[in-house]
Amino acid sequence: MHKIDIDKQIEIIKRGIVEIISEDELRKKLGEKRPLHIKAGFDPTAPDLHLGHTVLLRKLRQFQDLGHKVYFLIGDFTGMIGDPSGRSEIRKQLTKEEVQKNATTYKKQVGKVLNMDKLEVVFNSQWFEHMQGLEFGSLLTHYTATRLLERDDFVKRREEGKPIFLTEFIYPVFQGYDSVMLKADVEIGGTDQIFNLLVGRDMQKDFNQEPQVVITMPLLEGTDGVQKMSKSFGNYIGINEPAKEMFGKVMSISDSLMLKYYELLTDVDLEEVRKMHPKEAKVRLAREIITQYHSPAAAEEAAAEFERVFSQKELPAEMPEYKTDGTRAVLTVLVESGLVKSGNEARRLLKQGAVIFNDVKVESESLILKEAGVLKVGGRRFLKIIV
């Protein structure tokens, strides 16, 4: 382990967190002068990671750099059940094949943040898939239905007359048992995970283990500045996205969110940020993030392109092309070219006035693109139309 005193470790760990339960317990564990077992669980419910996921990943990296043992737990078993946290209805259950495919991409992507040489990737199917019926039944005796019914998600659903399925009901018990199997000293999760994290403490006590310290991290709002970052809300910045796309998205976040992004996604001194002009600070933030997930050269190129296109109102140097015979409607072109993901998204953008063809706002989805030109969606997506 690195020879870093406890106070310094606590200072590093506390950057950007919401709560530690409890700091005294964490200090005691750090005082044992051994690598602590640090756990964070990720259910592979979507194939790609975004900046919202990296809030936890970066905290795990800090623990790695402090010399502790990090377990990246992929919930390939629990992912097929679905975590009820923050949900007003049951999650869509994934197949084993979907979960395994997503888990494979997770493993590839986390290397952009974590030191893979010092990381232990574990799957909770290792212990759950081989459990027999009696073992499952015995596991469920370690937690009460009374406690589970206290969680806010379930209270709200009961009040609204919405169903709670047994699979969701026992999900926190499974997550808690993960902590038992890993003998976790610390578990990190979002604020929406607090109930599940505390179940882990209770389960460990019941299995005669020292309870894990719980560290909660804030949920990162997406580019809309309102909802938490999520692919389903369309407000995400994916860590595998092209550098220029990432740069433009970062530049679109609100000034009020900027300090939070700096705190959770970078190591930049926050006092330094507070002294900067908002535009200067945002450009630096975009450069910092692109450098992390691509390279300094990619950040430089993306910054130059952004300045040319958005500040000087020029077109990008490179654009995808779409060839047409002059009979295709704009809605069809938007979807077939891949400029938008679906017809519904295209209609929403058209209604918002976000679709421009040759500097003229497109108001009808049935408009036929009969001439060559540039189709633009919002401020970041361009398509060269060739007739």
Least confident of 84-93, 192-201, 286-295, 300-309: 84-93
Residue 116 identity (one-letter amino acid): M
Summarize the confidence of residues 54-63 as an average pLDDT.
96
Per-residue pLDDT for 238 more than 60? Answer: yes
pTM as predicted: 0.76
- Mean model confidence pLDDT for the chain: 87
Please tell me the predicted confidence (pLDDT) of residue 312. 61
Summarize the confidence of residues 191-197 as an average pLDDT.
91
DSSP secondary structure, 254-292, as one string: -HHHHHHHHHHH----HHHHHTS-HHHHHHHHHHHHHHH
Summarize the confidence of residues 135-162 as an average pLDDT.
85
Length of the chain: 387
At 90, is the pLDDT very low, low, confident or very high (cuts 50, 70, 90)?
very low
Please give the domain boundaries of the chain with CATH numbers for all domains. Answer: 6-217 (3.40.50.620), 243-311 (no CATH), 321-386 (3.10.290.10)
Per-residue pLDDT for 235 more than 70? Answer: yes
What is the rounded distance in angstroms from the CA atom of residue 78 to the CA atom of residue 75? 5
Q: What is the pLDDT of residues 247-268, one digit of tens each?
A: 989 998 999 999 999 999 999 9
Which residues face 221 on adjacent strands? 228
At 187, is the pLDDT very low, low, confident or very high (cuts 50, 70, 90)?
very high
Residue carrying the six token digits 């389903």? 232
SS3 40: strand
More confident residue, 211 or 93: 211
Q: Evaluate the omega torsion of the peptide bond into residue 252 and state whether it is cis, within 30 degrees of 0.
A: no
